[in-house]
């Protein structure tokens, strides 16, 4: 265990290195570039590969090739680059390629405000690819958690053969905090087929990813983004093959939801006002809850560490206990859609969204909002 | 009972996938034959140390599924980046990209030029069939002027791209162009890039007009097409460069260190600091 004063971006890079990442590919983009700088400095010294590609489309596809080549791969980007990577992430889902994609969110759409934070890519992280697919999305709230969740992202990606997305924003990317870095972590090593009879794209147990054959060892593996059978052969016409494949890829994640889903809750046993949030804004929520409790208002929160796949039960329970739920987020209202979907009672749900200019949501704003609503 | 010996190329192919789904008269078969002959003459027993990477399009089906080797059939235009990833992660493997003009000279042109600029240690075979064959023959960056396609129903007028000249201007080690009518030369070039020049970016363009959407529309049979290709091509080492001719030959042959060697040197420097 080491202690260090790191920014979120540096913590992402440190977490990746601890997790055994030996291949980084990326393209410069604000506010994620420091992750790339860190890896550019560290990886060559350790005999790993650092590669600056010509664009983000090349980046994600190089990452996919490297992963099939046996490397433990990460890339990091920000909004516009993340948009360019979507097709490749979909290919990684279809071909069951482990890799970690970090998206440091900035204010969009388009070029937007490159240096300013936002949380507007929540829905894109979940649904950015065409077709039916599910990709795990993790959301740390601090540099410490950047380390922990990047390590977890690698573990999930290797175990389930799936790309995993880590969402942070410019606040976390550039805030500096003391972190504890573990010396070593255990990431499951990639499962290889026991023999040639084990199929690389089919698994008898829907919860378990099929083994991933290494290249160059006579498995003659066929990797394709087209619909394929268990052996990798294209079958672009039959209903059965397509349905079986996309359903298996879908179930592989959803059936493992207990392993994947994680959240933090505070003060939810006894409350009237609650908050649901993720990422940097949760820090203001925590402060606001403490202030409100001091003022005698029973406030609590749920903070989602896993944004996808999402378990609705905690939100349902919260909605049964609260009179008011406030959903503060650095966008115009995305997480609130989940809260509204989860509600089974007639609790009041308030969206509190703002974005741009590097404006955070201050604890005082939330306190003021709650007092106003409670008075009514 | 008559004993028929298997064709030598069968050991390089996934027999259960044959016959191929290519159109009658498609020249992809001639390229498969040239590749097989080159492997055979180089004494390559099987292709387990090869990784083929292709994109989306007719020629991308040559390795996926027909060639018996590890193969990655990637997104449209992205064969080169995936190949780079594989090569950097496993440099001991021979990585070969086979894709078409739509893939490499249009949607993926940026990747092609940058891979050549970096002299990345992969072999790239561009099968130039002049059109987007798989999507019914639309105009591509290499379609000769005047040809009618579904998206140029009154005849193409855009200037086509001479892709070999583009790659020649980069740091690639090897650049050659042959038509499907130059079988021996094509096979020898494939042997060159697997045995003579074994590092850096090696590029071969194979002119193989689409039978279904180019030649047949012009009323030509496969045999007519091959004869015309011979008539219409001119060797690069002749001085009488003519317009409307297909320049064939080896444009460039160097043996500079490729990306992998340069990166190893870079790692060595990094470790010293």
pLDDT of residue A346: 87
Task: Decide if B135 touches A, using CB distance below 8 A.
Answer: no
Q: List the single best residue of A91, A216, A221 to mutate versus B (max B Cβ within 10 A).
A: A216
Q: What is the pTM of this model?
A: 0.97
Residue A264 φ/ψ, nearest 5 degrees:
-120, 135
CB-nearest to A216 from B83, B85, B90 is B90
**B126 Cβ neighbours under 8 A, 6+ residues apart:** B99, B100, B101, B104, B105, B163, B203, B204, B205, B206
Element (H, E) at B222: helix B222-232
Regarding whether A281 and A166 lie in a shared domain, the answer is no
Does residue A171 lie within any of the structural domains? yes
Regarding whether A98 and A6 lie in a shared domain, the answer is yes
Regarding whether A168 and A32 lie in a shared domain, the answer is yes
Q: List the single best residue of B12, B71, B72, B112 to mutate versus A (max A Cβ within 10 A).
A: B72
pLDDT of residue B180: 97
User: What tens digit of pLDDT does each residue of A181-215 get?
Assistant: 999 898 988 999 988 889 999 999 999 999 999 99
User: What tens digit of pLDDT does each residue of B158-189 get?
Assistant: 999 999 999 999 999 999 999 999 999 999 99
Please give the Cα distance from B195 to B203 (Å, whole number). 14
Is the Cβ pair A65, B273 closer than 8 Å? no
User: What tens digit of pLDDT does each residue of A91-111 get?
Assistant: 999 999 999 999 999 999 999
Please give the Cα distance from A174 to A30 (Å, whole number). 11
What is the C-alpha end-to-end distance of chain A, expressed in Å? 51
pLDDT of residue B5: 86
pLDDT of residue A39 exceeding 80: yes
- CATH number of the domain residue A323 falls in: 3.40.50.920
* Last residue of one domain, picked from the residues A131, A147, A181: A181
Q: Summarize the confidence of residues A56-72 as an average pLDDT.
A: 98
Is the Cβ pair B88, A23 closer than 8 Å? yes
How far does the CA of residue A51 sit from the closest CA of chain B (Å)?
Answer: 9
Q: 3-state SS string over chain A? A: CEEEEEEHHHHHHHHHHHCCCCEEEECCCCCCHHHHHHHHHHHHHCCCEEEECCCHHHHHHHHHHHHHCCCCEEEEEEHHHHHHHHHHHHHHHHHCCCEEEEEEEEECCCCCEEEEECCCCHHHHHHCCCCCCCCCEECCCCHHHHHHHHHHHHHHHHHHCCEEEEEEEHHHHHCEEEEEECCCCCCCCCCCCCCCCCCCCCCCCCCCCCCCCCCCCCCCCEEECCCECCCCCECCCCHHHHHHHHHHHHHHHHCCHHHHCCEEEECCCCCCEEEEECCCHHHHHHHHHHHHHHCCCCEEEEEECEEECCCCHHHHHHHHHCCEEEEEECCCCCHHHHHHHHCCCCCEEEEEECCCCCCCCCHHHHHHHHHHHHHC
Q: Summarize the confidence of residues B75-90 as an average pLDDT.
A: 98
ipTM: 0.97
pLDDT of residue B241 exceeding 80: no
* Last residue of one domain, picked from the residues A160, A181, A202: A181
Across the A:B interface, residue pairs with CB atoms under 8 Å apart total 136
- CATH number of the domain residue A56 falls in: 3.40.50.970
Is the Cβ pair B88, A57 closer than 8 Å? no
* Last residue of one domain, picked from the residues A181, A198, A233: A181
Regarding whether A279 and A173 lie in a shared domain, the answer is no
Residues paired with residue A85 on neighbouring β-strands, in sequence order: none
On the CB side of B137, how many CA atoms lie within 13 Å of its CA? 19
Please give the Cα distance from A317 to A331 (Å, whole number). 25
Q: Which residue segments constitute the domains of chain B, with CATH numbers given?
A: 22-272 (3.40.50.970)
Regarding whether A45 and A149 lie in a shared domain, the answer is yes
Please give the Cα distance from A37 to B195 (Å, whole number). 38
Cβ proximity of B142 and B161 under 8 Å: yes
How many distinct structural domains can be found in chain A? 2
Residues of chain A neighbouring B49 (CB-CB closer than 8 A): 216
Is the Cβ pair B90, A226 closer than 8 Å? no
Residues of chain B neighbouring A233 (CB-CB closer than 8 A): 17, 65
Does residue A25 lie within any of the structural domains? yes
pLDDT of residue B2 exceeding 90: no
How far does the CA of residue A20 sit from the closest CA of chain B (Å)?
Answer: 14
Regarding whether A304 and A158 lie in a shared domain, the answer is no
Please give the Cα distance from A22 to A32 (Å, whole number). 19
Is the Cβ pair B90, A69 closer than 8 Å? yes
Nearest by Cα to A165 from A279, A300, A333: A279
User: What tens digit of pLDDT does each residue of A242-293 get?
Assistant: 999 999 999 999 999 999 999 999 999 999 999 999 999 999 999 999 999 9
Regarding whether A140 and A6 lie in a shared domain, the answer is yes
Which residue range(s) make up the domain with A326?
Answer: 262-375
Residues of chain B neighbouring A216 (CB-CB closer than 8 A): 48-49, 51, 70, 90, 92-93
How far does the CA of residue B184 sit from the closest CA of chain A (Å)?
Answer: 28
Q: Which residues of A294-309 are buried (b: 16+ CB within 10 A; e: fewer)?
A: eeebbbbbbbbbbbbb
User: What tens digit of pLDDT does each residue of A312-340 get?
Assistant: 999 999 999 999 999 999 999 999 999 99
Residues of chain A neighbouring B263 (CB-CB closer than 8 A): 49
Does residue A230 lie within any of the structural domains? no
How many angstroms from the chain centroid is the CA of residue B20?
18
Is the Cβ pair B78, A61 closer than 8 Å? yes
Torsion of CA B32, B38, B41, B47, to 10 degrees: -70
């Amino acid at each position: 265990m080491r202690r260090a004063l790191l920014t979120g971006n540096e913590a992402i890079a440190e977490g990746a290195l601890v997790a055994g990442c030996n291949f980084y590919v990326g393209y410069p983009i604000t506010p994620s570039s420091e992750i790339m700088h860190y890896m550019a400095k560290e990886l060559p010294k350790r005999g790993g590969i650092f590669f600056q590609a010509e664009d983000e489309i090349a980046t994600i596809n190089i990452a996919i090739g490297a992963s099939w080549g046996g490397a433990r791969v990460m890339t990091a980007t920000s909004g516009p680059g993340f948009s360019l990577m979507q097709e490749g992430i979909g290919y990684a889902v279809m071909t069951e390629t482990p890799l970690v994609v970090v998206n440091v969110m900035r204010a969009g759409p388009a070029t937007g405000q490159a240096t300013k934070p936002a949380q507007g890519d929540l829905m894109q992280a979940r649904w950015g690819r065409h077709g039916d697919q599910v990709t795990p999305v993790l959301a740390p709230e601090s540099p410490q958690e950047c380390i922990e969740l990047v390590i977890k992202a690698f573990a999930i990606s290797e175990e389930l053969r799936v790309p995993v997305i880590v969402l942070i924003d410019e606040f976390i990317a550039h805030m500096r905090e003391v972190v504890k870095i573990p010396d070593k972590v255990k990431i499951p090593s990639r499962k290889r087929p026991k023999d040639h009879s084990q199929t690389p794209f089919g698994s008898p147990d829907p919860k378990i990813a099929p083994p991933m054959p290494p290249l160059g060892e006579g498995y003659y593996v066929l990797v394709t983004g087209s619909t394929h059978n268990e052996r990798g052969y294209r079958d672009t016409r039959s209903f059965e093959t397509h349905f079986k494949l996309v359903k298996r890829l879908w179930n592989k994640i959803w059936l493992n939801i207990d392993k994947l889903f994680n959240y933090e809750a505070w003060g939810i046993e006894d409350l009237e006002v609650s908050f649901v949030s993720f990422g940097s804004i949760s820090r203001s929520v925590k402060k606001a809850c403490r202030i409100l409790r001091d003022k005698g208002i029973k406030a609590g929160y749920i903070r989602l560490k896993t944004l996808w796949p999402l378990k609705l039960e905690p939100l349902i329970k919260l909605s049964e206990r609260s009179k008011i739920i406030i959903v503060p987020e650095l966008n115009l209202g995305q997480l609130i859609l989940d809260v509204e979907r989860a509600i089974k009672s007639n609790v009041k749900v308030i969206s509190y969204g703002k974005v741009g200019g590097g404006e955070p949501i201050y604890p005082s704003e939330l306190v003021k909002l709650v007092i106003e609503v409670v008075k009514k | 009972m008559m004993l028929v010996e298997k064709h030598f190329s069968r050991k390089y192919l996934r027999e259960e996938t044959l016959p191929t789904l290519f159109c009658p008269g498609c020249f992809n078969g001639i390229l498969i034959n040239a590749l097989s002959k080159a492997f055979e003459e180089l004494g390559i027993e099987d292709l387990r140390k090869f990784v083929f990477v292709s994109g989306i399009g007719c020629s991308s089906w040559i390795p996926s599924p027909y060639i018996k080797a590890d193969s990655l059939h990637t997104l449209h235009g992205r064969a080169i980046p995936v190949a780079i990833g594989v090569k950097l992660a496993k440099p001991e493997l021979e990585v070969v990209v086979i894709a078409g003009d739509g893939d490499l000279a249009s949607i993926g042109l940026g990747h092609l030029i940058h891979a050549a600029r970096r002299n990345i240690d992969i072999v790239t075979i561009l099968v130039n069939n002049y059109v987007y064959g798989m999507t019914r023959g639309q105009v591509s960056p290499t379609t000769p002027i005047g040809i009618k396609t579904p998206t140029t129903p009154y005849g193409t007028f855009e200037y086509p791209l001479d892709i070999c000249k583009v790659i020649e201007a980069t740091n690639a080690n090897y650049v050659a162009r042959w038509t499907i009518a130059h079988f021996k030369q094509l096979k020898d070039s494939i042997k060159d890039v697997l045995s003579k020049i074994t590092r850096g970016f090696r590029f071969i363009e194979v002119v193989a007009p689409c039978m279904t959407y180019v030649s047949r529309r012009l009323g030509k049979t496969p045999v007519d097409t091959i004869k015309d290709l011979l008539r219409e091509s001119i060797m690069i080492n002749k001085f009488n460069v003519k317009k409307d001719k297909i320049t064939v030959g080896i444009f460039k042959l160097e043996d500079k260190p490729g990306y992998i060697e340069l990166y190893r040197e870079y790692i060595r420097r990094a470790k010293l600091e």
